[in-house]
Amino acid sequence: MNFIYSPGPTYVKNNVMLSRSKNFTNPDLDHDFFNQYKSICSKLKTIFNTKNDIIILSGEGMLSLEASCACLTEKNDKVLVINNGVFGEGFKDLVSLYDGDVTLFNSPFDSPFEFEKFEKFLENNHDFKYATLVHCDTPSSMLNPIHKICPLLKKYNILTVVDMVASLGGTYVNVDESQIDIGLCASQKCFSAPPGLTFLSISKDAIKAIKNRKSKIPTYYMNLLNYLSYYEKKWFPYTMPISDLNGLETSIDNMLEERMENIFKRHEKISYSLLKALSKNNIKSFLDSNCSSPTVSTIIVENDTNPQEILNYIKDKFGILLSGSFGFLKDKAIRIGHMGENARYERIIPVLCALEDAFSYFYKREIFLVDDFNYFYNKN
């Protein structure tokens, strides 16, 4: 079995896997399950920092993205897609799929979000039903300042849909303070549970906008309104994946027991030490530390080197799975996912050993990633 260190899925602890193997009840008939689901949602509220409703869906993170767009978008609705990475284009495609009228705001992909430019843009362009943005853009590792962007949008009564799949649980997020209307995440990244679940917070304003649609929601499975009265009705629109939920609950318990502030500190410490070590070895990260996410790093390979050859070398020699990137970084970068349970010293060191060996081999010079990482890690 390969050692996974890509930006999701991440390593899953044994107690999470054991929870998924427990014998289970019929979630459609057993009222105790509705209490369990409600309890899991309550625990998620602590991590989201919200009083808003939480909905857990059976499906990968893309399900929440599409469900949000499907429920909010009506034909010719004006939607702002904030594009500061690779995934902005994905939101554009989803909004267009449901006949929304998309306006793109592009901020440079290789530097911090241009907030002042965005402020000026909104002064003359704010007739939008909602806006979409990505907190951590995993292909580039860009971390966008949602705590500044979303309140500004709210000032103009623009609803917000924020993809937090690669950030929530690895860096500080406060949905209520940031006035996020729909904030969505998934199980396989910072939560270190197997892929298969996605969950979102939804504000009263977003619920009102969905209920006040002039046209019917063009989906049943993704109709978020179907989940809001589950506890009172003791009913879900489909049979809930109880084994997946058992695993997610244990992963959340692991996080809350460790305490979120401690989790954020270990993510920040590993990210800082890695970027410093790369710089000291003249290996370029795509972004500087002032806008790079603490959950993932994107390493630019030298011009005459094929990233896939490095990835294959590391997989074949060390059994470690890293990933390339896509979009404008396709065939230019390698990404490592120091998120969730992967954001631990004992898990990143084998990866750095493999990278050190591979870079030394392909770049034909001595690389000292491990020693330099240790220096900055112990100094920080």
Residue bearing tokens 């509705």: 34
- Geometric angle at alpha carbon 249, from 246 and 251, rounded to 5°: 110
Where residue 86 falls among pLDDT bands split at 50, 70, 90?
Answer: confident
Per the structure block, which two tokens stand in for 72? 């909010």
Kindly state the average pLDDT of the residues 56-67. Answer: 96
Average pLDDT over residues 324-342: 95
Beta strands, E only, the chain: 3-4, 53-58, 78-83, 101-106, 130-134, 136-137, 142-143, 159-163, 182-186, 197-202, 297-300, 320-321, 323-324, 333-336
Whether 360 maps to a domain, the answer reads yes
pLDDT at 266: 98
- Mean pLDDT, rounded, for 74-98: 90
Say whether both 188 and 169 belong to one domain. yes
CA 171 centroid distance within chain: 10
Specify whether the CB–CB gap between 377 and 345 falls below 8 A. yes
164 and 43 assigned to the same domain? yes
Task: State whether 232 and 320 are in the same domain.
Answer: no
How far apart are the C-alpha atoms of 353 and 356, rounded to whole Å? 5
Same-domain check for residues 242 and 272? no
Q: Does any domain span residue 184?
A: yes
Determine, yes or no, domain membership for 106: yes
Q: What is the pLDDT of residue 202?
A: 98
Could you tell me which of 174, 84, 177, 76 has the C-alpha nearest to residue 133? 84
- Gap between the Cα atoms of 320 and 2, Å rounded: 6
Residue pLDDT, tens place only, 91-112:
899 999 999 999 999 998 999 9
Q: Which domain holds residue 303?
A: 260-379
139 with 268, same domain: the answer is no
Same domain, yes or no: 143 and 284: no
- Residue 174 in tokens: 């406060």
> Does residue 275 carry a pLDDT above 80?
yes
The kind and range of the H/E element at 123 are helix 115-124
Same-domain status, 126 and 226: yes
223 and 293 inside one domain: no
Percent of the chain surpassing pLDDT 70: 100
156 lies in the same domain as 238: yes
- Inside any domain, residue 253: yes
Give me the CATH number covering residue 362.
3.90.1150.10
Instruction: Please provide residue 365's backbone torsions phi and psi, each rounded to the nearest 5 degrees.
Output: -150, 165
What ranges in 226-280 are assigned the alpha helix state H? 230-233, 242-258, 260-280
Give 3-15 pLDDT, tens digit per residue. Answer: 999 999 999 999 9
Nearest CA among 128, 195, 116, 187 for reference residue 161:
128
Query: Domain tally for the chain?
Result: 2
Question: Where a domain ends, among 201, 235, 257?
Answer: 257
Q: At 198, which CATH number? A: 3.40.640.10
User: Average per-residue pLDDT in the chain?
Assistant: 96
Query: Residue 166 in contact with residue 136, Cβ under 8 Å?
Result: yes
Q: Is residue 24 in some structural domain?
A: yes
Beta strands at 182-186 and 130-134: parallel, antiparallel or unpaired? unpaired
Please report which confidence band the pLDDT of residue 88 belongs to, taking 50, 70 and 90 as the band edges: confident
Q: Which residues contact 234 (CB under 8 A, 6 or more apart)?
A: 31, 34
Q: Which of 257, 288, 312 is the last residue of a domain?
A: 257
Shared-domain flag, residues 238 and 320: no
Residue 76 lies in a domain: yes
Same structural domain, 241 and 282? no
Six-digit token string for 311:
């990835």
Residue 264: predicted pLDDT: 98
Confidence of residue 327 (pLDDT cuts 50, 70, 90): confident
Give the pLDDT mean for 241-249: 98
pLDDT digits (tens, 9 = 90+) for 223-236: 999 999 999 999 99
What's the confidence (pLDDT) of residue 1? Answer: 65
Among candidate residues 241, 257, 273, the one where a domain is terminated: 257
Mean pLDDT for 22-29 is 92
- The long-range contacts involving 301-308, CB below 8 angstroms and separated by at least 24 positions, are 301/332, 301/333, 301/334, 302/362, 302/363, 305/362, 305/363, 306/331, 307/331, 307/332, 307/333, 307/334
Are residue 265 and residue 251 in the same domain, yes or no?
no
Residue 5 lies in a domain: no
User: Quick check: is 341 in a domain?
Assistant: yes
Q: Both tokens of residue 373?
A: 């990482």
* pTM assigned to the model: 0.96
